[in-house]
Amino acid sequence: MARLQRLSALFGVLVVLGTIGVGGWALLINYVFESSGELLTPTGATLLVTVGLVLVLVGFGARSKRRLENPYW
């Protein structure tokens, strides 16, 4: 892997981790410190559906026998 690709991959991972961190911080502030109970159930359901869909997509990708040979991927 070229140096530029590694730096791009590192940047992408840092962006994802930063997004997760900001989302976790917002979740912590909104639900733990301010305790707005009426939105806790819809938020939990949304998180469960999102995690489920991501896991299904990962499963489909992991079982795929075809490899993407496109340089844009």
Give a yes or no: residue 9 inside a domain.
no
Give a yes or no: residue 68 inside a domain.
no
Parent domain of 36: 16-59
pTM of the prediction?
0.51
Give a yes or no: residue 48 inside a domain.
yes
Give a yes or no: residue 65 inside a domain.
no
Letter string b/e over residues 8-36, b meaning 16 or more CB atoms within 10 A of that residue's CB:
eeeeeeeeeeeeeeeeeeeeeeeeeeeee
User: Running DSSP on this structure, what letter comes out for residue 34?
Assistant: S
Q: pLDDT class for 68, splitting at 50, 70, 90?
A: low
**What tens digit of pLDDT does each residue of 5-60 get?**
888 888 999 999 999 999 888 878 877 776 667 777 887 888 899 999 999 888 87
From 19, 24, 29, select the one nearest 47 (Cα to Cα). 24
